[in-house]
Structure 1
Amino acid sequence: MAVSFGCDRDRLPKGTPQCVRDEIEKIKQAPVWNPPLKVYRYLYKGQTVYYIPVYQCCDFASQLVDENCNVVCSPDGGLSGRGDGRCPDFTATRSNEKLVWQDTRKP
């Protein structure tokens, strides 16, 4: 008899790119953010992208990566709070939001 002791809450959707998985593992090693972090998948300009708020504060920008782990842009954060300026329409035009992962640890 095989017994598995995995956590279903940490199971990521099939097809989640390795770079997204790696960022989630880094996040899980850091203190819990308040509110706890969530990673989402969207459709943006005809491609599947993953929104990763990389850092919680201090002028760091979020990342938007495609299915091949190419950085598309930084939609927010950074010095201006508006990311790198390469996808200013992301929030207004993204669609098909799917929650990929959320940190369920308590702050």
Structure 2
Amino acid sequence: MKIILFSGILTFIMFAIRCDKDDPEHVVPDCVKDKIDQLEKEDCPSVSRVLEYQFNGEKVFVIHPENCGADLTSEIVDQDCNTICYLGGIAGNLTCEDVNFEDHATDERQIYP
């Protein structure tokens, strides 16, 4: 009985992962992948994580920096890697496109690592 239950759970997990990879809603644009690769090649790899959100009606990616320097900001880019805004820094900026990013960003999903 335990083997059947474990097998069923494992099948469900594999199906869920497979569906997520094929889901066009969760495809990471090549330019975002290239940006991550570029940042990882710097002397001090300057990307700690990348998150995807829905913000102001579009998919955006937040590139959070490593602790390689003082006053670093998180870059917000669209699907074409156009910079929308920067958050954080010494001033603790939370505003992007004239609204509070945290209050308007939804559907968080971790992209990297």
Q: TM-score, normalised by structure 2?
A: 0.60
CA distance in 2, matches of 1:38, 1:51: 8
Match of 2:49 in 1: 38
CA distance in 2, matches of 1:50, 1:59: 20
Higher helix share: 2
Higher strand share: 2
Cα RMSD, aligned residues only: 2.7
Match of 1:26 in 2: 38
1:25, CA displacement in angstroms? 0.9
CA distance in 2, matches of 1:32, 1:69: 19
Q: Secondary structure at the match of 2:53?
A: strand
Question: Quick check: 1:55–1:62 contact (8 Å CA) kept in 2?
Answer: no
Identity between Structure 1 and Structure 2 (%): 24
Aligned pairs, how many? 86
Q: TM-score, normalised by structure 1?
A: 0.63
More relative contact order in 1 or in 2 (CA 8 Å, sep 6+)? 1
What runs of 5+ residues in structure 1 fail to find an aligned partner?
1-12, 103-107
Highest Rg: 1 or 2? 2
Match of 2:102 in 1: 91
1:32, CA displacement in angstroms? 6.1
